[in-house]
Amino acid sequence: MPVTSDFICPSCQLPLKETRTSYGIFWNCGNCGGRAVTIELLRRAFTPECINPLWLHAMRGEGTRGRPCPECRQPMLAVPLSADAGIDVDLCRHCHFVWFDAGEVDTLEPRPVAPAPPELPQKARELLAMEKVKQLAEEAEGSDFDSAPPDEQWKTIAGFFGLPVEFDAPAEERTPWVTWTLAAAIVSASLWALPHLREAVQNFGLIPAQAARLHGLTFVSSFFLHAGLIHLISNIYFLIVFGDNVEDFLRPFRYLGLIAVAAFVGDLAHIAADPQSQTPCVGASGGLAGVITFYALKFPRARLGFLMRWGFIWFRWMRFPAWFALILWILLQFVGAWQQKAGVSSVSAFAHLGGAAVGVLMWLVWRGYGREK
């Protein structure tokens, strides 16, 4: 049964009604018959040939200023539904909503319906019913366990090495100069230190038992140094993939403030875990944890893809909404913190948790301040 939601019809300015289907949830206007549908639901219900061009047009900015989004109220982008239909629909690049006026969704081509299964015994029908319940639960959570690979080849390579990739990334309005500059500075400092890494880490790494040495400079220098190429490449990847969207929302000064405070609090959490440790710690992970957490809270519907593989034989992409991936990541950090205390891990999960806590607090403070003109 439809229920009234907080979403507003962009044409009538009336509350939309929530409707649940086997494909997911959409919102419709009882007055004009318009519908607000997420791009993810459209991909499950209709053929890729009629859905993918919508998002491609939007990502390239190939459209005109449209009506306000039913959720965030920012102007959507009016893009052509197809080359020959002569119909424009409104698409929000931030919330991933597509607005269809009455009858427009009927022009889309549905995915082929599988033929009805033959009559099965009662036991088999019960097992199929349980699988259907699991499938609906997965759809309600927004996960996708049978996803097509990303269009960009580099994302497939990143996924092969266990890194998450963005599907339907939030749109950006400005070039992320701060993210690129910060990445360049980190790479330059780490590569400079690489030939004499042990000496550089010992001199400029953060040592908990000597936190005030060099007048506290190691809180800064340790951020730019990394313990090897893999450590460096993974952190730079996370900075570029998630930092650009957070910078676009917060703008440069608040974005730098988020990274600086998250890195500092992460360092303090690392020190608190073992104040007498003489082992130097390096890396930007505390600051990046704040960025990643802010990203997941600000763009909870952004899809993150993970390539699950078994050797070189079995591959499958799995996509999760950013909020769900954040929960899994936080749980892993608590496990890592236990391993760190037990002395079986060289990764500072406490620094990650400290940075993540700052990301939550900064999101609570700044979530309504973004995208000033």
Nearest to 192 by CA among 159, 232, 219: 232
Q: Give yes or no: residues 305 and 158 share one domain.
A: yes
Helix (H) or strand (E) holding 47: none
Quote the radius of gyration of the chain (alpha carbons, Å). Answer: 24
Check which CATH number belongs to the domain holding 196 and give it.
1.20.1540.10
Residue 135 lies in a domain: no
Q: How many domains in the chain?
A: 2
Q: At what angle do helices 229-250 and 252-273 cross, to 10 degrees?
A: 140
Same domain, 184 and 103: no
- Lookup result for tokens 């969704």: 105
Q: Which residue shows structure tokens 């029908």?
A: 125
Using CB atoms within 10 Å of the CB of residue 126, give its burial: 0 to 12 exposed, 13 to 18 middle, 19+ buried: exposed
Q: Which structure tokens are listed for 196?
A: 């004499």
Distances (CA, A) of 55 to 63, 96, 105, 231, 235: 11, 9, 15, 34, 29
Same domain, 266 and 314: yes
User: Looking at the structure, do residues 305 and 163 belong to the same domain, yes or no?
Assistant: yes
Residues 154 and 249 in one domain: yes
Say yes or no: 102 and 150 in one domain: no
- Residue 168 falls inside a structural domain: yes
Same domain, 156 and 98: no
Any domain includes 284: yes
Residues 260 and 162 in one domain: yes
Q: How many CB atoms lie within 10 A of CB 183?
A: 18
pLDDT per residue as tens, the chain (373 positions):
444 557 889 888 888 888 877 777 888 888 888 888 887 777 777 777 777 777 777 666 777 888 888 888 888 888 877 656 677 888 887 777 888 888 887 777 777 765 555 666 666 666 766 666 555 445 444 445 555 666 677 777 777 777 888 876 777 778 889 999 999 999 999 999 988 888 898 899 898 889 888 888 999 999 999 988 888 998 999 999 899 999 988 989 999 999 999 999 999 999 998 888 888 889 899 999 999 999 999 888 888 888 876 656 667 778 888 888 899 889 988 888 888 777 767 788 899 999 999 999 999 998 776 444 3
* Beta strands 3-8 and 88-91, pairing class: unpaired
DSSP label at residue 16: E
Of 46, 78, 107, the last residue of a domain is 107
67 three-class SS = strand
Total Cβ atoms within 10 A of residue 210: 13
The domain boundary residue, chosen from 57, 88, 107: 107
Whether residues 101 and 158 fall in one domain: no
Q: Is 236 helix (H, G, I), strand (E, B) or coil?
A: helix
The answer to whether 292 touches 234, Cβ cutoff 8 Å, is no
Cα separation, 33 vs 27, in Å, equals 10
How are strands ordered across the β-sheet holding 144-147? 144-147, 314-321, 303-310, 165-167
Query: For residue 329, is it within any domain?
Result: yes
- Residue 357 maps to a domain: yes
In a domain, residue 218? The reply is yes
Out of 44, 78, 107, a domain closes at: 107
CA 167 to centroid of chain Cα atoms: 8
Contact 283, 230 (CB under 8 A): no
Range of the domain at 238: 146-366
Note whether 94 and 169 are same-domain residues: no
Q: Residue 121: inside a domain, yes or no?
A: no
162 domain-assigned:
yes
For residues 275 and 324, membership in a common domain is answered with yes
**Closest to 268 measured CA to CA, from 347, 211, 312:** 211
User: Would you list the DSSP string of 311-330?
Assistant: TTTEEEEEEEEHHHHHHHHH
Question: 199 and 320 share a domain?
Answer: yes
